[in-house]
Amino acid sequence: TGHKWGYGEEDGPSAWHKSYPIAQGTRQSPINIVPEEAVYDSRLPAITINYDNCTSLNISNNGHSVVVEFEDMDDRSVIQGGPLENAYRLKQFHFHWGGKDCDGSEHTVSGKTYVSELHLVHWNAVRYRTFGEAAAAPDGLAVLGIFMEKGDGHRDLHTITDALYMVKFKGSIANFKGFNPKCLLPSSLKFWTYPGSLTTPPLHESVTWIVLAEPIRVSDKQMTKFRMLLFSAEEEEQRKRMENNFRPPQPLKGRTVRASFK
Ligand SMILES: NS(=O)(=O)c1c(F)c(F)c(S(=O)(=O)CCO)c(N[C@H](c2ccccc2)[C@@H](O)c2ccccc2)c1F
Ligand SMILES: [Zn+2]
């Protein structure tokens, strides 16, 4: 299903509009966040993240990123508050990263890039019956974005980077039970929020983005493990390293970015 797309010269972000015209839409993501231009909204409630009973299922390499999926048939792991009218269920999380440390994140802050960005994808199960339905609705998805900067290793990220060898090739999947992504959250939940889209095809304009201002740290060794993943499947003779799987910032087109903090 859907046209083959990637992050290369021919099939990368600048070519996506040919199969996905929404790529040139009015609420595309990611964006460059300019803190001084963000509007502080004192009425924005804090976001509440209830992952205590989350059930992680597996970790997989889908040829675009490394993804950890969760059981989402009830409200066992939800995010709410902030700009959200309803509780949104955690469906999966994945990462974006660069080939070296100069870039890798999707959102940027006053032009600053981070080495990686973690996305926790949630869907509005109050208003929509299935993830697919929600994914195509303007208030269907909420993605929590967490910047990752170079530093000493993140203890809990270890659990993930130590499992990456199991999903080296595109199409590989492995058991990954008992992981709670709560441990990946930074200490502050201060955030910016704006109406946007998926940053990969199908690029649906269905995402309320919640980007945390405080990054978490990732070590050099841990980044090296992400870069050992492959875009290619085991049987392909051309082995392409999975790196630079990020879309560059898109035009704001009049949108307002709100801040939960001064
Ligand atoms: N940055 S982002 O949050 O926009 C994003 C990504 F950057 C991203 F790489 C993925 S992905 O699943 O890794 C591969 C692309 O489908 C998804 N995955 C989506 C998804 C699939 C299943 C379950 C949750 C999320 C995406 O594949 C998708 C969303 C909606 C409809 C079809 C596909 C995604 F949402
Ligand atoms: Zn993403």
Question: Ligand 1, atom 21: nearest CA belongs to which residue?
Answer: 92
Distance 63 CA to ligand 1 centre (A): 12
Q: Which atom of ligand 1 is nearest to the CA of 69?
A: 23
Q: Which residue has the tokens 């939960």?
A: 260
Distance 45 CA to ligand 2 centre (A): 24
Model ipTM over 0.90: yes
pLDDT at 154: 84
The answer to whether the CB of 192 falls within 8 A of the CB of 259 is: yes
pLDDT at 253: 98
Angstrom CA distances, 5 to 60, 98, 200, 201, stand at 18, 18, 9, 8
Q: Which atom of ligand 1 is nearest to the CA of 132?
A: 31
Question: Ligand 1, atom 30: nearest CA belongs to which residue?
Answer: 135
- The span from the CA of 155 to the CA of 50, in Å, is 21
Bridge-partner residues for 150, per DSSP?
A: 218
Write down the H helix ranges in the chain: 16-19, 131-135, 157-161, 220-226
Q: Which ligand is nearest to the CA of 116?
A: 2
- Most ligand 1 atoms within 8 A of CB, residue of 73, 94, 120, 123 to mutate: 94
Going from the first residue of the chain to its last (262 residues), give the mean pLDDT of each consecutive group of 10, the final group possibly shorter: 86 98 98 98 98 97 98 98 98 97 94 98 98 98 98 92 98 98 98 99 98 97 97 96 98 98 96
The answer to whether the CB of 248 falls within 8 A of the CB of 113 is: no
Q: Which residue has the tokens 């290369």?
A: 8
- The span from the CA of 57 to the CA of 182, in Å, is 15
Distance 140 CA to ligand 1 centre (A): 13
* 135 pocket-lining for ligand 1 (C-beta < 6 Å): yes
